[in-house]
Amino acid sequence: MTDLAIGVLAILGMFGLMLLRTPVAFAMLLAGFFGAWWLEGLRRATAIMFTETYSSVANYNLIVVPMFVLLGNIASEAGFSRALYDAAHAWVGRFRGGLASASVIGCAAFSAVSGSSVATAVTIGRVALPEMKRLGYGAGLSTGSIAAGGTLGFLIPPSTGFVLYAILTEESIGRLFMAGILPGLLMMTMFIGAIWVVTLRNPEAGPRGEAKPMLEKLRLFARAAPLIGVIIISIGGIYLGAFTPVEASGIGAALTILLALVTRALGWKAFAKAVGETVRTSAMLYMIVVGANVLNPFLALTEIPQALGDTLGALGLGPYGTLIVILLSYVVLGMFLDGLAMLVITVPIYFPVIVAQGFDPIWFGVVAVIVIEMGMITPPVGLNVFVVRGVAGDVSLATVFRGVMPFLVAMILTLILIILIPGIALWIPNSMFG
């Protein structure tokens, strides 16, 4: 049996383990270890296991993950996320569909401290969904706006998706963070446009809220200003070159904890809960990195990426034809796998092909993350849809899936614009890093 055939069998076995509910990290770990054992023997497989495990968790850049996750958890437990939503609601709530738009804006703002799609959807959903239900919003629009808005957590920095992509491809975390800013704002605007279209066709889906006086708007904005300041310091500091992404994550987490203590918004019990959630999330992400780093050397031994590149090259599709095939494969995988699983499994295979076709690796990171985001709201998996349905309680899955369809169209339009105009993703990192 050829090395390539062994590699294909191992990949199929890995997907089989995932279907049996084996955690993604351990499915990759088992495929990589036993695949390397088959090809190179037990001694070589054991060496890969030990060296890659140590080098993965000893990676200095991975500190970004627990620090930004802690920042998001502290902000959520202290109620700062509520302040972000209330401020957005005060300014746009009087428009038709205003509460849904405020939810999307709140998701975008909270994304800048959480880095997680699911955490963003849950946090803003708990605040916004009861309010939209009280004011008579359609179940599809209210749940759809939260599920779609939550996906911004995977795109707007600090994104855990970008951190993993950077580690897997050895690209700059700072460049990827900066590359996500304009696409994230563009997608947020597209989502608000989708809400406008839905409410234009069906005004009862998103009735207007009462207008707030200017003093009330300013008061609510002032309540949210400290956390907005943390966001500006963390992300702005990276842009200005004042500190690295790792330093920004530590500064952001420290400022948020200090803010929570000064305002007495966080008790010891809530603090312990935030730390515990951070440890669990970080351990899961670290294990995924370990699994990916054990799988990658095995993939290199089988030459699967090279074979894929040769096959696509033989088809004569050209760079953009090849890109379309890869993006379509992401759409199919998104029906069965969650976002992080898709990222860590496919990037080592697709990345050499993309680079060989002459595409910018930072730009492809943004494109890949957007397509993976689509998988978070498409059936049958649609992780964000299940999360929001759990928060909403009395809304059917079918209703939520129908509700996200206009936002899925908005995501596709955003993706097309970024493919046609790469500068949307590359202008900030290129102007910053040269």
pLDDT at 433: 67
Model confidence at 145, pLDDT cuts 50, 70, 90, reads very high
| Residue partners of 208: CB distance under 8 A and separation at least 6 | 94, 95, 96, 98
**Lowest mean pLDDT: which of 3-7, 162-166, 191-195?**
3-7
Dihedrals phi, psi of 166, to nearest 5 degrees? -65, -40
Does residue 414 surpass a pLDDT of 90? yes
pLDDT at 72: 81
Q: What is the pLDDT of residues 156-176, one digit of tens each?
A: 888 888 888 998 888 888 899
Cβ atoms 73, 303 nearer than 8 A: no
Does residue 303 surpass a pLDDT of 80? no
Q: What is the pLDDT of residues 252-286, one digit of tens each?
A: 889 888 888 888 888 888 888 888 988 888 888 88
Q: What single-letter amino acid sits at 311?
A: T
Q: What single-letter amino acid sits at 315?
A: L
pLDDT at 252: 86
Q: What is the pLDDT of residues 87-125, one digit of tens each?
A: 887 888 778 888 889 889 988 888 877 777 877 888 888
Cα separation, 414 vs 394, whole angstroms: 31
pTM, two decimal places? 0.85
Q: What is the pLDDT of residues 204-219, one digit of tens each?
A: 888 877 778 888 888 8
Does residue 185 surpass a pLDDT of 90? yes
Report residue 97 as tokens: 């569909």
Model confidence at 434, pLDDT cuts 50, 70, 90, reads low
